[in-house]
Structure 1
Amino acid sequence: MKRINLKVAVCLLAGSFLFSSCFVGKYGLWNKYISWQNNMTNNKYVNAIVGLILVPIVGSICTLVDILVLNSIEFWSGTNPMAANNIGKTQQVMGQDGRYYAVTTLKNGYEVKAPTGEITYFIHNDENDSWSMEQNGVQKEIFRFDEKGNIQANINGETKAFTLNETGVYQARMIAGDGVFFAMN
């Protein structure tokens, strides 16, 4: 009876190490597959039909690889193996002003090149879990995550704490002057 309990305990322990936190990963392979499947042609109906055929096969394989391998690697190492493939890639992104910006993925953040040629860097600092913006050699912290999981944002020269929910986002937008205003007659 003791041998069976020992075998069960060893299997459970090994399984806990192998499959730990596989559900909180970024599912990088699955997301890349879905992005490809949604953009493989310019016709959304063709994409949907091909998706119906491929998702049961390819989607299952991608999900299984994510759960068993990639998300476990991400949990234990702290890095997503699929995210490394984006380093150095540049995408054209339309800004709120209707102009296109070149956004290049860096190892620790992003480089954004405006249509005017001005370059802005958004840099993540792993040591204090913060994001900073750098323009013309001047770096300014935008926000950081605190030990409670909230953010400490630098808005209009003041550092304020916000919760990561709709209320916190609303409060930050109102303080920054990015709220919705209604006109009355």
Structure 2
Amino acid sequence: MKKRFFTVAAIIAIASTIMFSSCIGSFGLSKKLLSWNQTLDNKFVNQIVFFALWIVPVYEVSILADVLVINSIEFWSGDNPIEAGIVKQVQGENGIYTVETLENGYRIENQEGQEMNLVYDKESNTWSVVANGNSAKLIKIEDGGNAIVYLPNGGEKSVQLSNEGVLAFRESIENSTYYAAK
């Protein structure tokens, strides 16, 4: 009986290493739970809630759900089902922005209430911006480490996705008449 148990355990261990190799995942549910706990006002309350969530096994269940289900979904589909709905405040050059993670991109709002969406189309591998009811393509990621950047004047520019390629693109835009006119 013991020999059979160890044989089955060894087979499961080997299968797990093959199935879950390079599949650590982002542990989105566990991180979201922990970040919620960190938003509580008082460090003593944080600590009490932390211990309570370990005793009740909320953290254990969230980690188990991440390991068995959510990280597997993220690995096979490329999408993390937990990421949608996360809202963060981000300090930018022109003030603080509210950034909400959506299923297909981001919603960004400035302090004046103006907002825009960055939308990702998985089929065409394209990012677009949507603001005031208008939509415009920004970039299309191509195979082989290249991208097509859609310029405001209607043109397109191929860019190599490397430090050198991005630097060359940036320099060409800074020297263009469009950028100078803006």
| TM-score, scaled to structure 1 | 0.59
Give the whole-Å Cα distance in 2 for the aligned partners of 1:27 and 1:150: 30
Q: Which amino acid aligns with 1:71?
A: N
The size of the alignment, in residue pairs, is 160
Give the alignment's Cα RMSD to 1 decimal: 4.1
| TM-score, scaled to structure 2 | 0.60
Asked whether the 8 Å contact 2:159–2:166 carries over to 1, the reply is no
Give the whole-Å Cα distance in 1 for the aligned partners of 2:34 and 2:41: 13
User: Match for residue 162 of structure 1?
Assistant: 160
1:79 matched to 2:79? The reply is yes
User: Identity of aligned pairs, percent?
Assistant: 34
Q: Secondary structure at the match of 1:76?
A: helix
User: Match for residue 182 of structure 1?
Assistant: none
Superimposed CA distance per residue, residues 27-70 of structure 1 (whole angstroms, 9 cap, x where no aligned partner): 4356547756887779xxx8xxx8xxx9xx9xxx7878655543
Gaps of 5+ in 2: 1-7, 55-59, 176-182
Gaps of 5+ in 1: 1-6, 179-185
CA distance 1:167–1:126, shift in 2 (3 Å): same
Asked whether the 8 Å contact 1:21–1:72 carries over to 2, the reply is no
Asked whether the 8 Å contact 1:108–1:125 carries over to 2, the reply is yes
Give the whole-Å Cα distance in 2 for the aligned partners of 1:26 and 1:149: 24
Give the whole-Å Cα distance in 1 for the aligned partners of 2:164 and 2:67: 33
Shift of 1:107: 2.3
CA distance 1:102–1:33, shift in 2 (3 Å): closer
Correspondence list, 1:58-69, <5 A: 66=66, 69=69
Asked whether the 8 Å contact 1:155–1:176 carries over to 2, the reply is no
